[in-house]
């Protein structure tokens, strides 16, 4: 039971933490034969719903089994309290904290391992209609509290933040960071910003000497 709980928790973290940019890069690099990676891009909430259903069922089943065992071993008086304490501690350590910490530090490898089993599990749960029902309820609740607000996609600010993060990790030197940041600002520039007006240009005759050119450069 703990292993199943760890699987669901770690999978949830990996699938949630892998952003769309990295997922698109993975599809471009490795391909997507079964279309599963693309489905994560389009229906990520379905994968999350599947994992939450599985984790909830496993944790509740663990609590029931532990309570019954404690009732057999120690009597029914303190069985529920003892089972609650034991299950809570075990689930927190081995079913939540540890797998999620591992997943957040190894997002891509864990994602590639778990995404297909989670996909097939979602297919199985979809046969009962449970996934679609819960997903519909969740989407209705989101619309109720959030309204029909369109969430922004990746923006220039996201790219600038990524450049700063890569620079902080030493993966981009200062010159490249400045070059990329300036490239992202090109759409804000006008011709006036980069081209000198003709009336302000300093010209020199083709008959001028080298000294004349030096003097003009020093003056301007």
What is the number of structural domains in the chain? 2
pTM: 0.66
Question: Greater confidence, 56 or 204?
Answer: 56
Q: What is the pLDDT of residue 20?
A: 85
Report the mean per-residue pLDDT for the chain: 83
Give me the pLDDT at residue 209, please.
Answer: 87
pLDDT tens, residue by residue, 7-42: 999 999 999 998 888 888 888 888 887 888 998 888
Q: What local confidence, expressed as pLDDT, does residue 115 receive?
A: 93
Give the integer Cα–Cα distance in Å for 192 and 200: 12
> Is 207 inside any structural domain?
no
Domain that holds residue 129: 2-146
Answer yes or no: is 216 within a domain: no
Both 138 and 173 in a single domain?
Answer: no
Burial of residue 102 (CB within 10 Å: 0-12, 13-18, 19+) is: middle
113 and 163 share a domain?
A: no
CA 190 to each of CA 86, 178, 198: distance values in angstroms, whole numbers, following the listed order: 67, 19, 16
Contact 2, 62 (CB under 8 A): yes
pLDDT value at residue 114 = 94
**Sign, Cα dihedral of 150, 154, 156, 160:** positive
């Amino acid at each position: 039971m703990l292993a199943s709980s760890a699987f669901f928790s770690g999978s949830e973290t990996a699938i949630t933490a892998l952003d769309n940019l990295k997922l698109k890069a993975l599809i471009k690099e490795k391909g997507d034969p079964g279309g599963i990676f693309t489905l994560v891009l389009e229906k990520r909430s379905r994968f999350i719903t599947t994992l939450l259903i599985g984790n909830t069922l496993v944790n509740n089943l663990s609590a029931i089994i532990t309570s019954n065992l404690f009732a057999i071993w120690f009597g029914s008086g303190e069985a529920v309290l003892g089972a609650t304490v034991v299950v809570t501690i075990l689930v927190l350590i081995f079913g939540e904290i540890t797998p999620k910490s591992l997943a957040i530090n190894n997002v891509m490898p864990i994602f590639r391992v778990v995404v297909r089993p989670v996909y097939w599990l979602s297919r199985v749960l979809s046969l009962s209609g449970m996934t679609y029902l819960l997903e519909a309820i969740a989407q209705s609740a989101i619309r109720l509290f959030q309204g029909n607000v369109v969430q922004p996609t990746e923006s220039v600010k996201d790219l600038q933040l990524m450049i700063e993060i890569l620079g902080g990790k030493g993966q981009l030197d200062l010159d490249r960071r400045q070059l990329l940041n300036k490239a992202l600002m090109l759409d804000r520039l006008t011709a006036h910003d980069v081209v000198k007006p003709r009336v302000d240009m300093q010209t020199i005759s083709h008959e001028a000497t080298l000294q004349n050119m030096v003097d003009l450069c020093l003056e301007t």
